[in-house]
Amino acid sequence: MANKITTKYLLDLVSRSFALAIPLLDKNKKIKVEVQYLLARIIDTIEDSMHEIKDKETLITGFINILKTANIENIENFKKVVISKTINENDKILIENIDIVLKVFFNFPLDIRNISISYLKEMGYGMIYYQDHIISSFDDLNDYCYYVAGTVGLYLTEITRLLDGLNLDKEKAKRLGIFLQKINIIKDAKIDYKEKRIFWPSSLFDNENPAPYFEDKAYMDKSLEVLNKMIESANNEFKSSIEYIMSIEKKAQGYRRFCLVSVLMGYETLKLIKNNYDLFTEKTLKISKKTTIDIVSKVKSDFYTNKKLEDILTNTN
């Protein structure tokens, strides 16, 4: 008998890092964040698909409408259209099983669903906007990262307020999301370049042409120069991310752990790729399994007190 497909199964399929972090969440948030990640991943899958821009807009708008109305009358057609031009095989499995995700989502309380829809709608708008707008400056990069991940930080902060009565700093929540997205954009640069997608500001490159930076070793020094500018941009968000985590009270300890694992894995990734030309080659750069296990183990045991987090901030200055 085949294994029953669940939201947890789908999460494990499409995200290594969040599959590690989400189980650490407090019980009152775990399934909600799991489903929210999968809903965001569906929108991201449409963004990354081979569909024309106008069709992507139609599909994302249609998906948000499904979430609003709980009307799944045309869901089979929606799945068929999205899958037809989806690139990643695991994402195809997610889309094929979208009914499972929606069934759980529609059973959430209305206030939780409304928060979810609000930020997914904003995320989808930003993704569509940047389909035909170039990221030319660091301001553009910050804007794009806000739509894609800053909205996630705000969603998490809103449900933590609703479920735990905590009023966390929304600006720092945004910056935590932006920090994590910038790391993804940096470490996946070669993959994105090969797929003709550039998320690094075009103003970083001579004549706004990234090709020699990824294809010509004679550009190694210049490549490392722009890499370190990208790392500096990500590091600009790190202090706010840690301060946000330090403000999470004990009654939401699971949420603190969830944020810590994500941010510390991001921090280790930045250390790995700094001055590392392998980023511009075919080599895959990711932190070791040992480092990941060490982070998760220490976070679970509450090793990272606020004092230890302050020490990390001191050492990064």
Same domain? For 291 and 249 the reply is yes
Same domain? For 91 and 115 the reply is yes
Same domain? For 255 and 117 the reply is no
Domain CATH code at residue 211? 1.10.600.10
Same domain? For 226 and 127 the reply is no
Same domain? For 17 and 139 the reply is no
Rounded average pLDDT over 190-207 = 95
Rounded average pLDDT over 254-283 = 96
Residue 2 has pLDDT above 80, yes or no: no
Same domain? For 108 and 224 the reply is no
What is the rounded distance in angstroms from the CA atom of residue 38 to the CA atom of residue 212? 36
pLDDT on residue 68? 98
Domain count, the chain: 2
| Helix, strand and coil in the chain, % to nearest 5 | 80, 0, 20
DSSP state of 218: G
For residue 235 the two structure tokens come to 């590091």
Same domain? For 124 and 258 the reply is no
Same domain? For 108 and 37 the reply is yes
Residue 4 has pLDDT above 90, yes or no: no
Rounded average pLDDT over 128-154 = 98
pLDDT on residue 16? 84
- Cβ atoms of 127 and 44 within 8 Å: the answer is yes
Same domain? For 23 and 91 the reply is yes
DSSP state of 26: -
What is the rounded distance in angstroms from the CA atom of residue 253 to the CA atom of residue 115? 22
pLDDT on residue 233? 98
Rounded average pLDDT over 23-35 = 97
- Could you give the percent of the chain with pLDDT greater than 70? 99
What is the rounded distance in angstroms from the CA atom of residue 157 to the CA atom of residue 33? 11
**Domain with 276 in it:** 134-317
Give pTM, 2 decimals: 0.96
Instruction: Decide which of 131, 164, 197 is a domain's last residue.
Output: 131
In this prediction, residue 1 has a pLDDT band, given cuts at 50, 70 and 90, of very low
pLDDT on residue 94? 98
pLDDT on residue 50? 95
**Span 62-92, pLDDT tens digits:** 999 999 999 999 999 999 999 999 999 999 9
Same domain? For 146 and 241 the reply is yes
Instruction: Decide which of 131, 157, 180 is a domain's last residue.
Output: 131
**Span 96-129, pLDDT tens digits:** 999 999 999 999 999 999 999 999 999 999 999 9
What is the rounded distance in angstroms from the CA atom of residue 252 to the CA atom of residue 106? 25
Rounded average pLDDT over 238-244 = 98
Instruction: Report the chain's mean pLDDT, rounded to a whole number.
Output: 96
Same domain? For 173 and 274 the reply is yes
Same domain? For 228 and 284 the reply is yes
